[in-house]
């Protein structure tokens, strides 16, 4: 269940910061997607692409993360994910011992 919420949060973030639209435009540019009305549909992979599209596609596949950095939201807030993870104190939820003594 928590992975479902994580996925939903990632989808919202990708749409909120414009990353989805940027990557969709790039996928159309390199010939991986095409628009069918308002909906993108995949183009089959075993297809001869023009040399320029093929070069862009190979660049994106082989590029390091430094070459194509992800976009982030331009906010000045410190989010919980920016903080180091700390386990809660075991007595925070109950002071009843877990094993009889």
Model confidence pLDDT, tens digit, residues 51-77: 888 888 888 888 876 776 666 656 666
This prediction has a pTM of: 0.53
Tokens of 35: 């628009």
Contacts of 68-76 with CB under 8 Å at 24 or more apart are 70/19, 71/17, 71/18, 71/19, 71/22, 72/17, 73/13, 73/16, 73/17
- The closest of 40, 36, 8 to 24, measured between CA atoms, is 40
pLDDT attached to residue 72: 60
Domain locations in the chain? 2-91
The pLDDT score that the predictor gives to residue 74 is 63
14-40 per-position pLDDT tens digit:
878 788 888 889 888 888 888 999 888
Q: What is the pLDDT of residue 29?
A: 87
């Amino acid at each position: 269940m928590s992975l479902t919420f994580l996925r939903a949060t990632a989808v919202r973030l990708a749409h909120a910061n414009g990353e989805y639209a940027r990557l969709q435009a790039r996928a159309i540019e390199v010939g991986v997607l095409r628009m069918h009305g308002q909906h993108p549909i995949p183009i089959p992979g075993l297809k001869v692409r023009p040399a320029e599209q093929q070069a862009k596609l190979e660049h994106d596949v082989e590029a390091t993360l430094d070459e194509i950095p992800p976009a982030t939201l331009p906010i000045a807030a410190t989010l919980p994910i920016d903080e180091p993870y700390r386990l809660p104190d075991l007595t925070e939820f109950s002071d009843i011992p877990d094993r009889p003594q």
